[in-house]
Every structure is written in C-alpha cells, then in structure tokens.
Amino acid sequence: MKLCMIGTGYVGLVSGVCFSDLGNDVICVDKDLHKINDLKKGVIPIYEPGLEELVLKNVKNKRLSFSNNLESSVKKSDIIFICVGTPTKKSGNSADLTQIFSVAKELSKSINKFKIIITKSTVPVTTGDEIEKILKKKNTMNKFSVVSNPEFLREGEAIRDFTYPDRVVIGSNDLKSNKILKNLYSPLIGKGAKYVHTSRRAAELIKYASNAFLATKITFINEIANLCEKTSINVDDIAIGMGLDQRIGSRFLRAGPAYGGSCFPKDTKAIISTADKFQTNLSVIKSVIKSNENRSKLLLKRVYKILNNKIKNKNISFLGVTFKANTDDMRDSSSLTMIPELSKKGALIKYFDPTGYKKDFKKFKNVQYMKSVDSCLAKADLIIIHTEWNDFKSLNFKKLLKNKKTTIYDMRNLYSPNKMIKQNIKYLSVGRSL
C-alpha cells in the first residue's frame, strides 16, 4: 500500500520505516528541511537501536523515501498517518494540538481521491471529530475517512514494539477503512497481534488510559517501596509475589526514581484535562501525578541523609542521566530535578551516560560530563546509579572504589544488597531496608 507519514519523530519515523519493511511504499514527510536532507543522507535524528539499519535497507530497496512536500506526498498516497507532536501546553495540562490542526488544514487541500487519514499521534478524545470538520470544509464529497490508530511504542524498544505489538487498535466509524487497515496490519496479526476495531473516540481514549494505567502501576510499586524501606522488606520480593497473579502481571512493577519520558508525564496530565472538560474527576490519576512529581525530592532527602546533610564540596557521581536505558531522551528525567538541586547545594557532580554529554546541565558550573565510568567514579563520596544501562550492571566496585568510604545509592536496584555487604561496600537501593 502507499503510505504517507506526516512527522518524522519517534512515532512517524519508526512506524514509517517499519511499514516499509513490511513491503509498503512509504513517504516520510517533515516540514523541517534540514531533518529531511539528513534523513536522505542516512543521518537519523533520533537514538533508536536498529533504526539506522532499517532506514538504509528500505531506502536502498526504494520502498522508503523522504520529502519536504506534504501536498505531493499526500496526493501519491492512499493512507495518511498524522504523527506530529502533541506536547503539554505551557499553561495547564491539556495537549497542544496546534500541529495536528495545521496538518489537517494542509491535508484538506490534497485529497485528490479517497484517503484514510489516521491520527497515530496521541490525541485527546474528540480530536478525530475536529479533524473531520476541518477536512469537510474543503471536501464536501466525503472522499476520506478519519481513523484513530494509537501507537504503543516504548523508546529504545520501538522497532520490537511495532513488529510484535500485543494489539493493533483501530478506531473508525466506517467499515471500509477498517477492512483496508486490517489488511495493512495483516503481517503483524499473522504473527500473533490482536486486532481491535472500535469507535474512533474509544481508540483515542485507549491510548491515554493505557499510559495512565502503566504510570499508576509504576507509582504504586514506588510507594510500596517506601513502605518496604521502613519495614525491612525487599520490594523486589513484593513485585515477584504480586506479578505472578495473572490479573496483575510482572511488567512495569520495577521500583525506581520516578517515571519520566515524553509520554507518561504528558499523557497523565492530558487525560486529566480531558476529564475536567467533561466534568469528570479522575482522582487516582491526579494522585499518581502528584506522587511521581514528589518522588525525586523524596529520594533527594535520602541523599542528604546519606551525606549527613553535608552536601557542599561532596563528590557525587551519577551513572546514567537519561529517563531510562536505551534512549538519549532527557525529557522529564528525574536527573533533571536531582542534579540541579545538588548543584545548588554546592556538590561537585560528575556524570557519565552512554549517550554522551547533556546540554541540560551546561549552565551548572559544578556539573561535569565524564567520558568513562572509571573517570566518573574517581574520588566519589556518593555514587548514584540513576539509569539502568547495561553498562552499569556488572561493575567491579571493589576494584573501582579507591575511597573505601564511598556509598552507592542504586536507584534501579541493579545489584544485590547481600553481595554488597559481603564486599564491605556501603550500598543503598530502592525499596530495600535502609
């Protein structure tokens, strides 16, 4: 099939490349000419394992191309995916749909034959209705169908999540588009993905409800971890005991330093905004947002306690600063709260991250990027394992730690407390006794 992806960010580029790898002809469109020119040269603007190889392979076999021209690309395509950003508005919690509606207006001039217009971007309930109204202004002949097809791609795992989804959700109010899309996704359904056809509004809400639930699950185990620390229980044991219940499931029950990223913070706020618009109180999700926002400060209190409230001139080393492993994304990473706070208190901070230097810390003079784990840990009074990169999972701290008094605060529970005690290393983690 002939597809056009509008927007070449995490969602548009990954989905477009993966669709081309399934044998479709895909044009990825972006208004940013520099980005398009880079993509044409094989320069990938996002850090996503495996993406570069897939781009080169499908450009080579002429199934994948890049364009800055929305109108001509849309006219050549049958199925148009809108994959532009819907960030949280600067004021309030609601999603900023400026880019969505400006694409819809541009699209309405390019409907030269029947098109399926799909929102793959995460959009609030009723956005599809709004897009339909915009398109109808220029196309009274109804030569289009507006469909919601939310993605469930995790950064760092996006190609796998596209190729082996648990489910494909199609929200459309007509059977013609449903038949065409079931055919488009048939290779994934053939590999075991469930196909869910529902109303457009239901599909829009499924995305938000799914992310809000995952954020709730993580916040739940993070709060249980707080109780475990006070009761000498290991939260990992609780997660195992809970997760074996098929109704709960073991995934997304890893206690950590607070959820971050470009989606959970944005989507939990956006669903609250939608509920407020429809006079509904989502009190559980509101408490999840508050609990998660407070969590980084809670873990910082633990840092102050470890250092006996003497932070000034203390050498603190961060292993990892991105919001999770296998991404270079810093959006809403808990390190963006912790490092500035510690810097303000006069700590001497070093950080190492496999994805390199972060401009987010440029303005803090006592925060230094180090090019290796060894140089990052040298002379540390406190080591904070912030992100669960594989690079940090089998370090020989006995050898690495010159200063015997160094404490390790493992915010991702990568190591066993017992093994650390046996090596006489001062070790603290999350949800395990203080």
Q: What is the DSSP letter of 61?
A: T
Among 155, 204, 223, 236, binds ligand UDX (CB under 6 A): 155
> For the stretch 376-404, what's the b/e string if a residue is b when 16 or more beta carbons lie within 10 angstroms of its beta carbon?
bbbebbbbbbbbbbeebeebebeeebeee
Among 89, 105, 154, 197, binds ligand UDX (CB under 6 A): 154
Interface with ligand UDX: number of residues (CB under 6 A): 19
Report the distance separating Cα 135 and Cα 142, nearest Å.
8
**x/- site string to ligand UDX, residues 164 to 203, per CB under 6 A?**
----------------------------------------
User: Is 220 one of the binding residues for ligand UDX (CB under 6 A)?
Assistant: no
Rounded to a whole number of angstroms, the minimum distance from the CB of residue 28 to ligand UDX is 19
Q: Segment near ligand UDX (CB under 6 A), from 36-44, 111-119, 129-137, 152-160?
A: 152-160
The CB-nearest residue to ligand UDX is 263
Q: Please state the three-class secondary structure of 334-346 as a single string.
A: CHHHHHHHHHHCC
Helix then strand then coil, % of the chain, to nearest 5: 45, 15, 40
Report the distance separating Cα 119 and Cα 103, nearest Å.
11
Among 74, 218, 272, 316, binds ligand UDX (CB under 6 A): 218
CB atoms within 10 A of CB 421: 11
Task: Give the residue among 332, 342, 391 at the shortest CA–CA distance from 367.
Answer: 342
Q: What is the DSSP letter of 116?
A: E
**Residue 327, CA distances (Å) to 99, 142, 176, 227 in order:** 25, 42, 38, 31
Report the distance separating Cα 321 and Cα 246, nearest Å.
33
Integer distance in angstroms from the first to the last C-alpha of the chain? 58
Cα radius of gyration (the chain):
24
Whether 263 is catalytic: yes
Q: Segment near ligand UDX (CB under 6 A), from 196-204, 210-218, 366-374, 403-411?
A: 210-218
User: Is 252 one of the binding residues for ligand UDX (CB under 6 A)?
Assistant: yes
Q: Segment near ligand UDX (CB under 6 A), from 187-195, 257-265, 297-305, 418-426?
A: 257-265
User: Is 331 one of the binding residues for ligand UDX (CB under 6 A)?
Assistant: no
Q: Could you give the count of Cα atoms lying within 13 Å of 84 in the half-sphere of its Cβ?
A: 18
User: Is 431 one of the binding residues for ligand UDX (CB under 6 A)?
Assistant: no
Rounded to a whole number of angstroms, the minimum distance from the CB of residue 324 to ligand UDX is 4
Rounded to a whole number of angstroms, the minimum distance from the CB of residue 335 to ligand UDX is 11
Q: Segment near ligand UDX (CB under 6 A), from 51-59, 85-93, 211-219, 336-344?
A: 211-219
Among 264, 318, 352, 409, binds ligand UDX (CB under 6 A): 264
User: Is 214 one of the binding residues for ligand UDX (CB under 6 A)?
Assistant: yes
User: Where along the sequence are the contacts to ligand UDX (CB under 6 A)?
Assistant: 151-155, 211, 214, 218, 252-254, 256, 259-261, 263-264, 323-324
Catalytic residues: 263
